[in-house]
Structure 1
Amino acid sequence: MEHSVRQALRACPFISRTPVQALKQLSQTTPTAPASALLSKAQACPVMGQALSARFTHSSAKTPTAEVATESVSTPSPGEPFDYEQVYRTELDKKHQDKSYRYFNNINRLAKEFPAAHTSNVNNKVTVWCSNDYLGQGRNPCVVGSMKQTLDRYGAGAGGTRNIAGNADLHLRLESELADLHHKEAALVFSSCYVANDATLSTLASKLPGCVIFSDSMNHASMIQGIRHSNARKVIFKHNDVADLEAKLQQFPVGTPKIVAFESVYSMSGTVGHIEAICRVSKKYGAITFLDEVHAVGMYGPRGAGVAEHLDYQLNLNHPHGQNGSVLDQVDIITGTLGKAYGVVGGYIATSASLVDMIRSYAPGFIFTTSLPPSVVAGSLASVQYLKLSSKERVMQQINTKLLKARLAELQIPVVPNPSHIVPVLVGDADLCKQASDSLLTDHNIYVQAINYPTVPRGEERLRITPTPGHTPAMTQHLVVALATIWKQYKLKYTQDWAAEGGRAGVGMVVPSAAEPESVAEVEPIWSEAQLLAEIPNGINRCHCEAVDELSTVTTESDASTTRVAA
């Protein structure tokens, strides 16, 4: 500070000959004179005036939003407290102005009437078409029954972190079940998969000296956050572009620790990662793979382990455990959720025993979080066990997805092409997307949430529809008619309109590229016709809920009267 003052005294003759008290008086501001006399004199100075002018011009040109923030949030006088509420209002105004404000509808799912729900008015029932409870497991009697029994026996909460009173036999059994599901040595359960991704990537990369993380450009926010928290170097490769990934891996020595992070099913587009090719090129350059199967577990593969398992469907059906030579064995780290297809809540990783132990020992997101309640863990365990055996929910979901996509294609209502269960209907305008969502809800009793920026790029706003096994053909017909009405009412673009403009988000694009192989008229679904036909007759009654059975053996005599439910 003293050095700066001495420099200023040498450089500015005005400061050097002006008493300190006079400078203080000149620097003061009043309500009638918000600009200080000192600033006015500085602006009149042939040296300082140019410097101040250049500074303000440069700042406004470089960061236009900063000028808006300065104007909207006034600096309080020394005697006034800071206006926190004004900052909140200003930030919310920004969200409204750029059309990225998120609206939260009051939707209350009815377990006995899935996929029905009621709004804030209990008498106003709607059909939910955008739930991530993809298979309706949230109302499965096996899952609910297991949770009820566990709640009665062990109470509401876990009682602490996993290290302090929150580590029960149910947690260990669930982790063992998940490890077996994904052909791994061990698994670790977190409060959510957002936490699992963040905690694992940040902890792992921080422990690998000089680690570089290669991240798909469409990766979920949880992975982006984990990479940021790791402080590791990040390299982004083009979405689903294996050639681009390889070109970037080549830039680093084989001995440099590297993590390639990507997803199986990308939730907003429905596109599917090239798992086998990414694993192959990663191993070639000494990288380990981190695969997020959040939007695939439960729904793909003969036991519901996800797309990695589905790639070798018959092999994994006949030899369902690890080290069978399948693609699933090539993935180093798999993350999944218990809150989507499994219908409960929580997340997990499945990988080597030593890596699980390291994350368990070092990750703050695991160590300092209260454990999942026993009832939640019991429900998750029951759901995982159930879907290891039952494929009928997976099959019905695929059949309903195929039906809806076919009906929308007939009407030229634009669906982003993809091979998965996601049905993203392209609108391409934030205001119109919100209006379409509101109209579906208020005029047609259908709930589909509008998806806007920053979840998807501007100009690619969409209605994200997710069929489930519980949607009937009549419900599908009602949805299709409603969408056709809205497309006409709001003059929204049809598939041919997007094609005339050169295509957008894969819609109307007929020439595939490395990054967008799904941008063609016909996309081969992950589930083949042969696989669906083979699974349709599979034992409707062959699935028995082991979690409920095992829990029943330790219940008291009064508990034993509880109805045991078989799927």
Structure 2
Amino acid sequence: MTGGLVRKAQQCPVMSQAMQQRSVSSSAKVAQAPSKVAKAEVKPITPVSHHTKSKHFDYEAFYQQELEKKHKDKSYRYFNNINRLAQKFPRAHTARTEDEVTVWCANDYLGMGRNPVLTESMKRTLDRYGAGAGGTRNIAGNADLHLRLESELADLHHKEGALVFSSCYVANDATLSTVAGKMPGCVIFSDALNHASMIQGVRHSGAQKKIFRHNDVAHLEELLQSVDPSVPKIIAFESVYSMCGSIGPIREIVALAKKYGAITFLDEVHAVGMYGPRGAGVAEHLDFDLNAAQPTMGNGGVLDDIDIITGTLGKAYGVVGGYIAGSANFVDMVRSYAPGFIFTTSLPPAVVSGALDSVKYLKQSSGERVMQQLNTRTVKSRLADLGIPVVPNPSHIVPVLLGDAAAAKHASDELLSEHGIYVQSINYPTVPVGEERLRITPTPGHNAKMTDELVNALETIWDRYDFKRVNDWAATGGCAGVGAPDVQPPSPVWSDKQLGLDKMDEDKAMDSGTSAAI
């Protein structure tokens, strides 16, 4: 109604009464509406009396109790102040800059972290693009460098696509949790020694899991046989297990995956850059000559048969970050659904630039890989001559067994304080209780003098504290493969021929023959 009509109606005895009744009715309805919503949405609260003698929760006491547990079972982790010196690699200084030590446990396996191929590229990129990426990959942080790096990684692993993450821990967790969580009724078959990031991904997926004994393909097949053929299945395993140095049975697991309709999830974190003619990892190394001659997707090697590969940019490639590689649809699905990728700021441009040049460089250069393997062989051989127990394995890892957490820490502390050598002790839960160790990782930068110092220091410590040697472990039936009966030393992944040792022997023989003729 217009204003004039309303006034006329209010003056009429009949109309004015009708308007008043309508107004009252509308007000009542409005007043009732909130109460109905309140009854539907607000749950009754049961009050708790705060006028008692109950004390508030003691948070600091809780923290202290949890820390005491770690100290009691000797699993507390100590963090040494180690500052790498790029121009003196593998040297570092401790808390005081004048106190220098030789690092024998870094995961910069090839010393690429100080290689000018990376560092100069990173400096130029920093000057041009600044420190940070400026956003997530979906919002302002998707640069050409990221796309080029992913293209390079996809090519490295003979895959259609790749995706870069902030770390491989995040990559493993996000990928397994996303893919397995989306697949209806998915079952994950996980090696008993898989990395914590894979274990976390399995947990977060909510999928059913079945754990197979480490590298036991017969046990894996038993478990696969227990699941209906139509159920989606993922077999998750590693190529190099970093704390024991063992190598996953890649060909056998791929065969089982095909037989039982599973897909393979292979973590090559400790192998990328280190194995294969282009550094793609153990899966590439298994067909070394084929991949050296024809390094492309579809060449028939086992690398093509791996469905999902994960790797890191933070170890042999010398920077930081992780990645996955696989089919285009798989990569796009993870990119579209994984919170660990979507809601994380992109890697800084300088880091991506360094990673890109490192991957490209190690595709072409095998010198660093070869020298690392030769230094590993030397250290293992020298320790074997002294009976110092090294967990037998065919990889670049040198795990020196002590079998006791306190002893391992004591050996580590004494190496650092008395010999200027840093090797971190490894204890539970990284390794089982009773298999505590020192984990040594030779690099191309370790020279003969450094090796002598390491071997002599370990011999001194083993003598001083009468730590168990190989024969002592053998007398007790063996531990972690050390002193185990009827165990043959595994052949190294890198053969003499691949390292060029056969040619060196030929050259020596020729030189010897020439000298004899003269």
TM-score normalised by the chain length of structure 2: 0.87
Contact 1:309–1:328 (Cα < 8 Å) also in 2 = yes
Contact 2:497–2:503 (Cα < 8 Å) also in 1 = no
From 162, 171, 193, the counterpart of 1:196: 171
Q: Does 1:116 align with 2:91?
A: yes
2:496 equivalent in structure 1: 529
Note the alpha carbon deviations across 1:346-365, whole angstroms, 9 max, x for none.
00000000010000000000
From 96, 109, 115, the counterpart of 1:134: 109
1:175 equivalent in structure 2: 150
2:501 and 2:323 mapped to 1: Cα distance? 31
Note the alpha carbon deviations across 1:372-392, whole angstroms, 9 max, x for none.
000000000010000000000
2:453 equivalent in structure 1: 478
**Secondary structure of the corresponding residue to residue 500 of structure 2:** helix
Query: How far 1:534 moved relative to its partner?
Result: 7.2
Query: How far 1:82 moved relative to its partner?
Result: 2.2
1:521 and 1:423 mapped to 2: Cα distance? 17
Contact 1:297–1:304 (Cα < 8 Å) also in 2 = yes
1:262 equivalent in structure 2: 237
1:351 equivalent in structure 2: 326
Contact 1:295–1:340 (Cα < 8 Å) also in 2 = yes
**Secondary structure of the corresponding residue to residue 289 of structure 1:** strand
What amino acid is aligned across from residue 139 of structure 1 in structure 2?
R
2:74 equivalent in structure 1: 99
**Secondary structure of the corresponding residue to residue 383 of structure 1:** helix
Cα 1:307–1:486, aligned 2, differ >3 Å: closer, same or farther?
A: same
**Secondary structure of the corresponding residue to residue 102 of structure 2:** strand
**Secondary structure of the corresponding residue to residue 315 of structure 2:** coil
1:5 equivalent in structure 2: none
2:462 equivalent in structure 1: 487
Contact 2:409–2:425 (Cα < 8 Å) also in 1 = yes
Contact 2:161–2:327 (Cα < 8 Å) also in 1 = yes
Q: Does 1:209 align with 2:184?
A: yes
2:303 and 2:192 mapped to 1: Cα distance? 23
Q: Does 1:324 align with 2:299?
A: yes
Q: Does 1:303 align with 2:278?
A: yes
From 90, 98, 110, the counterpart of 2:65: 90
Q: Does 1:403 align with 2:378?
A: yes
Any residues of structure 2 matched to 1:330-341 within 5 Å, and which? 330-341=305-316
1:536 and 1:228 mapped to 2: Cα distance? 50
1:158 and 1:489 mapped to 2: Cα distance? 53
2:255 equivalent in structure 1: 280
Contact 1:215–1:237 (Cα < 8 Å) also in 2 = yes
2:327 and 2:152 mapped to 1: Cα distance? 14
Cα 1:499–1:534, aligned 2, differ >3 Å: closer, same or farther?
A: closer
What amino acid is aligned across from residue 493 of structure 2 in structure 1?
I
**Secondary structure of the corresponding residue to residue 123 of structure 1:** coil
From 353, 356, 367, the counterpart of 1:392: 367
TM-score normalised by the chain length of structure 1: 0.79
What amino acid is aligned across from residue 498 of structure 2 in structure 1?
Q
From 345, 369, 383, the counterpart of 2:358: 383
Cα 1:250–1:446, aligned 2, differ >3 Å: closer, same or farther?
A: same
Structure of larger gyration radius: 2
2:106 and 2:237 mapped to 1: Cα distance? 23
2:36 equivalent in structure 1: none
Q: Does 1:431 align with 2:406?
A: yes
**Secondary structure of the corresponding residue to residue 167 of structure 1:** coil
**Secondary structure of the corresponding residue to residue 498 of structure 1:** helix
Contact 1:391–1:535 (Cα < 8 Å) also in 2 = no
1:82 and 1:284 mapped to 2: Cα distance? 55
Cα 1:424–1:453, aligned 2, differ >3 Å: closer, same or farther?
A: same
**Secondary structure of the corresponding residue to residue 459 of structure 2:** helix
Which segments of 5 or more consecutive residues in structure 2 lack a partner in the other structure?
A: 1-48, 505-518
Aligned residues: 456
Q: Does 1:313 align with 2:280?
A: no
From 213, 217, 228, the counterpart of 1:242: 217
Query: How far 1:254 moved relative to its partner?
Result: 1.4
1:81 and 1:238 mapped to 2: Cα distance? 46
1:283 and 1:415 mapped to 2: Cα distance? 36
Identity %: 71
**Secondary structure of the corresponding residue to residue 425 of structure 1:** strand
**Secondary structure of the corresponding residue to residue 164 of structure 2:** strand
Q: After the TM superposition, which segments of 4 or more aligned residues of structure 1 sit over 4 Å from their partners?
A: 27-30, 534-537
Contact 2:92–2:102 (Cα < 8 Å) also in 1 = yes
1:154 and 1:420 mapped to 2: Cα distance? 39
Query: How far 1:255 moved relative to its partner?
Result: 1.1
Cα 1:408–1:230, aligned 2, differ >3 Å: closer, same or farther?
A: same
Note the alpha carbon deviations across 1:181-213, whole angstroms, 9 max, x for none.
000000000000000000000000011100000
2:485 and 2:341 mapped to 1: Cα distance? 46
Query: How far 1:536 moved relative to its partner?
Result: 8.8
**Secondary structure of the corresponding residue to residue 152 of structure 1:** helix
1:242 and 1:355 mapped to 2: Cα distance? 26
Cα 1:535–1:156, aligned 2, differ >3 Å: closer, same or farther?
A: farther
What amino acid is aligned across from residue 490 of structure 2 in structure 1?
V
2:215 and 2:488 mapped to 1: Cα distance? 18
